[in-house]
């Protein structure tokens, strides 16, 4: 008994945890309510198709509109949701909201593919995949409607399982993207069997492109590699025009970043669309 007590005391000693324990406990308990009570909200960040300078895609990014604490960024609660088994509920909420938004933008005449970020937990079994497939069928969405962004890290965790589930999603008409590409330490051998359409180069390689020669080398070789593998490329984190034009010249398909637009609430995004100098992808009818 005594030994066990000691062992436990030894195990729980983690100053990092102590420091944030209260905050984390608070967030864990209220996250469940936040999901149930619609305290979450989506911001939308456009992606620019460089070949014809058209806004053709948008990424949905979740925030928590907390009644007392204000707007909480996803980095502050996604990992809590992951550790406390709430990722399924959270991603379902996000997916449902993003699909509704897609449908209403279609009605307004905008033909803009919407990207949803999914976690490792969402591709461990078919529970989430079956949910998103059923939503797609219910709303009769086309195969160009939805992109699912999954981090390189999530895929490498259990590559075999991930490959199986991603194949399943691809068969059902979803576009699949590897997010934060270049940060997950995956080898080419691991990635070459993945049934994805797109690599999304992490912003750490893109942010300083216009001045950093080694970033240029990395991005250029990633583009060549991806294109040789038949994959499309998105660069995230573009913060200046030099980087944008350089990426266009290198044949990068899509660009995203503060230079084009920050993530915006839906109504602000609609105003942005009315005023942007870029073309907008519109429905045919
Ligand atoms: P991500 O999917 O890689 O999203 C890009 C993040 O970079 C966003 O932060 C965006 O605001 C930020 N960003 C975009 N352009 C620029 C730029 O030019 N410069 C800089 N410095 N930053 C830029 P955000 O919205 O705080 O999201 C952070 C991360 O949280 C996301 O990274 C994603 O991994 C995760 N996340 C967001 N929403 C969801 C969600 O609904 N589900 C899951 N599972 N994860 C989400
Ligand atoms: Mg993303
Ligand atoms: Mg990313
Ligand atoms: Mg990222």
Residues 247 and 244: their CA atoms lie apart, in Å, by: 5
In this predicted structure, what is the pLDDT of residue 155? 87
Biggest CA pair distance of the chain? 75
Q: Please name the residues in contact with 122: beta carbons below 8 A apart, sequence gap of 6 or more.
A: 87, 88, 91, 128, 129, 150
Q: What is the pLDDT along the chain (285 residues), one digit of tens a residue?
A: 344 444 444 444 455 555 567 667 667 778 889 998 989 999 999 999 999 999 999 999 999 998 888 999 999 999 989 988 999 999 999 999 999 999 999 999 999 999 999 999 999 999 999 999 999 999 999 999 999 999 988 888 888 899 999 999 999 999 999 999 988 777 767 778 889 999 999 999 999 999 999 999 999 999 999 999 999 999 999 999 999 999 999 999 999 999 999 999 999 999 999 999 999 999 987
Global pTM? 0.92
Burial track 217-254 (b if 16+ CB lie within 10 A, e otherwise)? ebbeebbeebbeeebbbbbbbbbbeebbebbeebebbb
Ligand 1 pocket (Cβ < 6 Å) reads 45, 61-62, 73-75, 78, 91, 94, 117-119, 149, 179-180, 203, 236-239, 256-258, 263
Torsion over CA: 46, 52, 53, 54 (sign): negative
Ligand 1 atom nearest the C-alpha of 81 is: 44
Ligand 1 atom nearest the C-alpha of 119 is: 44
In this predicted structure, what is the pLDDT of residue 158? 86
In three-state secondary structure terms, 106 is: helix
In this predicted structure, what is the pLDDT of residue 252? 98
In this predicted structure, what is the pLDDT of residue 9? 44
Ligand 3 centre from 171 Cα, in Å?
24
């Amino acid at each position: 008994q005594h030994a066990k007590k000691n062992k436990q005391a030894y195990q729980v000693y983690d100053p990092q945890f102590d420091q944030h324990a209260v905050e984390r406990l608070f967030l864990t308990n209220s996250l469940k309510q936040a999901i149930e009570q619609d305290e979450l909200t989506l911001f939308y960040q456009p992606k620019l198709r460089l070949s014809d300078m058209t806004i053709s895609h948008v990424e949905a990014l979740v925030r928590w509109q907390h009644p007392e604490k204000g707007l909480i960024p996803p980095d502050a609660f996604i990992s809590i949701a992951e550790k406390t088994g709430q990722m399924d509920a959270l991603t379902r909420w996000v997916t449902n909201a993003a699909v509704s938004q897609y449908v209403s933008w279609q009605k307004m005449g905008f033909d803009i593919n919407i990207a949803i970020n999914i976690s490792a937990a969402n591709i461990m079994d078919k529970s989430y995949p079956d949910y998103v497939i059923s939503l797609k069928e219910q709303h009769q969405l086309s195969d160009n409607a939805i992109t699912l962004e999954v981090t390189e890290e999530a895929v490498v965790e259990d590559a075999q399982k991930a490959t199986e589930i991603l194949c399943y999603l691809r068969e059902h008409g979803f576009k699949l993207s590897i997010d934060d590409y270049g940060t997950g330490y995956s080898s080419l051998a691991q990635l070459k069997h993945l049934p994805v359409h797109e690599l999304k180069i992490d912003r750490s390689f893109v942010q300083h492109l216009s001045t950093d020669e080694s970033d240029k080398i990395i991005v250029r070789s990633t583009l060549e590699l991806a294109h040789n593998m038949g994959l499309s490329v998105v660069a995230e984190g573009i913060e200046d025009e030099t980087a944008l034009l350089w990426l266009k010249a290198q044949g990068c398909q899509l660009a995203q970043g503060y230079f084009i637009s920050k993530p915006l609430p839906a109504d602000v995004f609609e105003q942005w669309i009315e005023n942007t100098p870029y073309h907008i992808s519109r429905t045919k009818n």
